Amino acid sequence: MESAPTCSPTPAASERACRPACCSAGSAHGCAAGPQRARRWRSAACSRSRRAGRLRCCRAEPGRYTRRVQHRRRSRATGRPRPFDPAEAFPGTVLPKDQWVRTRVPLERRSEPFDWLRAFGRVAPRVLDLGCGNGLYLVSSALRRPTHDHLGIELVPPALRLASLRAGQRGLSHCKFAWGDATEFIVSRCPTASVDEVHLYHPQPYYDASKVDRRQLAPRTLFAIWRALVPGGLFVFQTDNPAYWKWTAEHAPRLFDWHEQPGPWADAPAGRTLREIRARAQGLEIFRALATRLELDAATAEARAANMRAPTFDANKPGHGPEDTSREPSSAARSRRRP
């Protein structure tokens, strides 16, 4: 009978403690259920050992860590390493570690208003990014405008961690990030007349007709943005989806003084967000707008929003049929636990 592979001549005490109840001293590895079950148990023990020693191995052999990072950067479509794009590099300088700052702020219980003064410790103009992604725009803006407080809301944990890390490494204490649903934040948590700028870049269009109710920009969201802005506040919108742009350009002027922005942003010729950079590399047209809050009473603004048509437009583009969900987050990603 073929003997099972072993991790070490003698199992560690922790391994002996977690052996299944079927194990006995009479078999090759103490498993009376047969060699296959013993091999499975031993393989699990090896995995635990590898996980426990992973950091130690990386320090002893830095090349192993490099290979893992390169593997993560491989394209899921082709399996080949993604070429590094200098335009995707973050601005600013990474400071010594003792100068890093904490840039994560927790959100309180559902529907509780966000306390800007408590989060930033000062009164300053406020910039809100709904669905900030990896934080490229917020970090760039915070570097240019240290007198403004910046807050990004993001639901995808990996993107949020990168954004928070990059802002912290640059010592940007006036740039913070929170985990949560951006639509829920602007509708239920953002106090009235509390924000000077609201930015929304490339919201998910959801190509599947059964998921159009998930679209972020809807009548209630437009009204919530109008309500959250101070008088004369600015709403910045950008998308590469023509149908999304057409719907927004039709309805947003009811609450905002709407102006299309020709060409790239002056402060970011290569693109304000990673999505914009990649969309332009693919030859997609980018639609941009700057909108100023109209001076309306709350009842009039709410009535105008109530008369808006729901965003049930067909968002499909050439090569993107209803069955193509490559740009939509998977159910596993949506149900991922809080970081």
Supply angle C-alpha 205, 234, 178, rounded to 5.
60
Query: 178 CB contacts (<8 Å, ≥6 apart)?
Result: 104, 105, 106, 107, 151, 152, 153, 154, 185
Distance CA 273, CA 203 (A): 12
pLDDT tier at 318, thresholds 50, 70, 90: low
Q: Is residue 295 part of a domain?
A: yes
pLDDT tier at 319, thresholds 50, 70, 90: very low
Q: How many domains does the chain have?
A: 1
Q: Is residue 26 part of a domain?
A: no
Q: Is residue 274 part of a domain?
A: yes
Lowest-confidence region among 123-127, 163-167, 334-338: 334-338
pLDDT tier at 37, thresholds 50, 70, 90: low
Taken in order 234, 230, 301, 244, is the CA torsion positive or negative? positive
Q: Are 258 and 252 in contact (CB under 8 A)?
A: yes
pLDDT digits (tens, 9 = 90+) for 284-306: 999 999 999 999 999 999 999 99
Q: Is residue 259 part of a domain?
A: yes
Name the average pLDDT for the chain.
79
* Phi-psi sector, 121: left (phi>0), alpha (psi -120 to 50), beta: left
In terms of residue numbers, what domain contains 192? 100-334
Q: Is residue 263 part of a domain?
A: yes
pLDDT digits (tens, 9 = 90+) for 154-208: 999 999 999 999 999 999 999 999 999 999 999 999 999 999 999 999 999 888 8
Q: Is residue 89 part of a domain?
A: no
Q: Is residue 288 part of a domain?
A: yes
Nearest 5°: phi and psi at 135? 80, 15
Q: Is residue 211 part of a domain?
A: yes
pLDDT tier at 7, thresholds 50, 70, 90: very low
Task: Check residue 110 and give its pLDDT.
Answer: 73
Task: Check residue 34 and give its pLDDT.
Answer: 56
CATH code for position 181: 3.40.50.150
Distance CA 139, CA 157 (A): 17
